[in-house]
Amino acid sequence: MSGPSVSAQAPTGSQTPKGILKKPKSTPGTSAPPPSEPTPLPLEQQIAIQQAKLLLQQRGEDIKPPVSLDFFERLSQFPVTRGASISAANPSTKDAREFIEAVQGFLPREYQDLIEERNCLGNCGYTLCPRPRRKYTGEFKILSSGIAKVADLNMWCSDDCARRALFIKVQLDNPSYIKRDGQLVVRIELDDESKHSTRRQAPKNGGAKTDESELAKSMERLEIDKKTQTTRDKTALAVERGDARRPAQQVEVTIREKSTTAPVKGPDQSQAVQDGEAHLMLEGHKTTFGTGKDDAGSDSDDDEYLPSAIRL
Amino acid sequence: MEEETNSSIFARETSRLWRAWRTVHEMVQDRGYELAEDEVKISLQRFRDEYTNEDGSPNRAKMQFSARPSEAMIKKYTPPATASNPNPTTEAGTIWVEFCPEQSSIGIGVMKKFVGHCSANNFKAGILVTAMPLSSQARKVITVTQQYTQIECFLEEDLLVNITHHDLVPKHIVLSREEKIALLKRYRLKETQLPRILQKDPIARYLGLKRGQVVKIIRTSETAGRYASYRLCV
């Protein structure tokens, strides 16, 4: 086993090791070929155009344009149809559809703004509720369930509306998507009113069944969420790398060779061969392990001083 | 008993509003608008007579005024004449100040009404003094309409004292465009090399600074007597 390794690592003097550096060209003047292809635009301009395109694309994808004020104005005066039969639990289908379609384009922050805007007008924070909001005074209020901040209570007309609005908010915070006209939109649905009324009246009877359907529904939502998540991740990564939507525009790579001035010499190993360290040399250098003790330590006076210090 | 508590509440509110009313007048005057001295230094008794209802409650709907820019201010805000524009028009215009009677927080509707009133009557600037903070969408209305009318909003409680009268607040003077150019030339500076002041800084809000304006701050100094520094509004 040691035979071949010795012969490979300790070559004889005549057999000089082959360097890894490149041989220079015979005439250094022609070594660097000028890039002579005629480009239609200077490089800086091309880069600027690319950057501008990228920014435009990112603005389109990352930063959603803010919801216009008209939407807020309209939604803060909802519901449009009012009557004896209309309530938050039983909204008119037209209003409900319009609300859902508007809210699908909202960010969670904007939904919060909508609630704030409705409260400014004295309406209940839930958009489909025709009733005015509560107007407690003071800072805290004692309820049967505990102590609540009045500011939180005053946002709604009742706890039911708070629950309904929260149901929408949760769907905006953790969105799942459905396809509509070839575009993914956030899936929003109103809280199922019949479920709550049955549960409150007979919690033992229908409990298991509704739970099961609920579970199936949430599983389905999870599945959709997972799929859209991967595509979203991919597009986000593509945008970050800057190669999305521009597959044809590859980056142009020009390889410029480094010019060499003198003929390359291999490392001189004659000294190492004499010392018998040739097998430790790598490209003319001996590898040490950071201490440097191997070479310098022997002739410094540290060695002599240290044992005497210990002896004392 | 009920009557007494009511009247004391009204009295307190009226005196708070009187202080805000005086501060906003001083602010408008300090910005360079023309106001009569007796308008600015109104006494509490006169304020009570003019701006309260019969039951003593303050009448915010009546609390509004406009002011014209003074000669000096018109000159200050006229951009320097150039070859292409030999007769530049001034950027200063009349200002409209209004106290908002709304007692809940201010929404889009109220804000739009105020902006509409300002633009319909050709006011270049408007100040709305509110009792409650604005909603975030109402704030957006201000930024959207900024290029047509300069709208500013102040809370009543922020105007209870005039901050420029405080002992520790040095004198701030807004520089005109020529003065700013001369300053940058004198010290061979670029705009960005000046120290900065935020637009939301209380003094910057008081003076109504816009981005890019330079304010000269004169402090008293133990060694130098007076010491002037300059800040760029960002």
* Enclosing domain of residue A130: 57-199
Interface contact B107-A76, CB threshold 8 A: yes
Q: Considering the domain boundaries, does residue A126 fall inside one?
A: yes
pLDDT tens digit string along B219-228? 999 998 999 9
Identify the residue with better confidence: B4 or A101.
A101
Q: Considering the domain boundaries, does residue A81 fall inside one?
A: yes
Identify the residue with better confidence: A4 or A144.
A144
Compute the Cα dihedral for A101, A102, A106, A110 and give only its sign.
negative
Predicted local confidence at residue A300, as pLDDT: 46
ipTM: 0.77
Interface contact A116-B137, CB threshold 8 A: yes
pLDDT tens digit string along A208-260? 555 677 777 777 767 666 777 788 888 888 877 776 555 555 778 888 888 88
Max mean pLDDT range (A216-225, A300-309, B95-104): B95-104
Query: How far separated are the first and last CA of chain A, in Å rounded?
Result: 49
Q: Domain tally for chain A? A: 1
Report the CATH number at residue A165.
1.25.40
pLDDT tens digit string along A257-278? 888 888 887 777 777 788 887 7
Does residue A180 have a pLDDT over 90?
no
Tell me the pLDDT band of A5, cut-offs 50, 70 and 90.
Answer: very low
Predicted local confidence at residue B193, as pLDDT: 92
Q: Considering the domain boundaries, does residue A101 fall inside one?
A: yes
Q: Is B115 on the interface with A (CB under 8 A)?
A: no
Please tell me the least confidently modeled range out of A49-53, A301-305, B43-47.
Answer: A301-305
**How far away is chain A from the Cα of B122, in angstroms, using its nearest Cα?**
23
**Chain B residue numbers touching A66 (CB-CB < 8 A):** 140
Q: Two tokens at A235?
A: 């597009």
Interface residue of B9, B111, B137 to substitute, partner A, most A CBs within 10 Å = B137
Predicted local confidence at residue A279, as pLDDT: 80
Predicted local confidence at residue A62, as pLDDT: 61
Q: Considering the domain boundaries, does residue A294 fall inside one?
A: no
What is the residue whose two structure tokens read 């150039």?
A: B82
pLDDT tens digit string along A147-174? 989 888 888 888 888 888 888 888 888 8
Interface contact A66-B108, CB threshold 8 A: no
Does residue B9 have a pLDDT over 90?
no
Q: Among A66, A73, A116, whose Cβ lies nearest the Cβ of B109?
A: A73
Predicted local confidence at residue A38, as pLDDT: 57
β-pair partners for A244: none
Please tell me the least confidently modeled range out of A103-117, A180-194, B55-69.
Answer: A180-194
Query: How far separated are the first and last CA of chain B, in Å rounded?
Result: 53
Please tell me the least confidently modeled range out of A170-184, B36-50, B136-150.
Answer: A170-184
Q: Which helix (H) or strand (E) holds B196?
A: strand B196-197
Q: Is B221 on the interface with A (CB under 8 A)?
A: no
Q: Considering the domain boundaries, does residue A83 fall inside one?
A: yes
pLDDT tens digit string along A59-111? 666 666 777 888 888 888 887 877 777 787 888 888 888 888 888 888 888 88
**How far away is chain B from the Cα of A239, in angstroms, using its nearest Cα?**
29
Q: Considering the domain boundaries, does residue A12 fall inside one?
A: no
pLDDT tens digit string along B18-30? 999 999 999 999 9
Q: Among B106, B110, B137, whose Cβ lies nearest the Cβ of A69?
A: B137
pLDDT tens digit string along A11-29? 455 567 777 877 766 555 5
Q: How many CB atoms lie within 10 A of CB A28?
A: 11
Long-range CB contact pairs, A76-85, < 8 A, 24+: A76/A114, A76/A117, A76/A118, A76/A120, A76/A121, A76/A123, A76/B107, A76/B108, A76/B109, A77/A121, A77/A123, A78/A118, A78/A123, A78/A127, A78/A128, A79/A127, A79/A128, A79/A129, A79/A130, A82/A130
Interface contact B141-A120, CB threshold 8 A: no
Q: Considering the domain boundaries, does residue A291 fall inside one?
A: no
Does residue A141 have a pLDDT over 50?
yes
**Chain A residue numbers touching B133 (CB-CB < 8 A):** none
pLDDT tens digit string along B168-194? 999 999 999 899 999 999 999 999 999
- Where do the domains of chain B lie, and which CATH numbers do they carry? 2-160 (3.40.1340.10), 164-233 (3.90.940.20)
pLDDT tens digit string along B131-150? 988 888 888 888 888 878 88
Does residue B154 have a pLDDT over 90?
yes
Interface residue of A75, A107, A120, A123 to substitute, partner B, most B CBs within 10 Å = A120
Tell me the pLDDT band of B203, cut-offs 50, 70 and 90.
Answer: very high
Percentage above 90 pLDDT, chain B:
46
Question: CA-nearest residue of chain A to B140?
Answer: A69
Interface residue of B106, B135, B141, B146 to substitute, partner A, most A CBs within 10 Å = B135
Q: Is B139 on the interface with A (CB under 8 A)?
A: no
Q: Considering the domain boundaries, does residue A26 fall inside one?
A: no
d(CA A106, CA A114): 10
Does residue A35 have a pLDDT over 60?
no
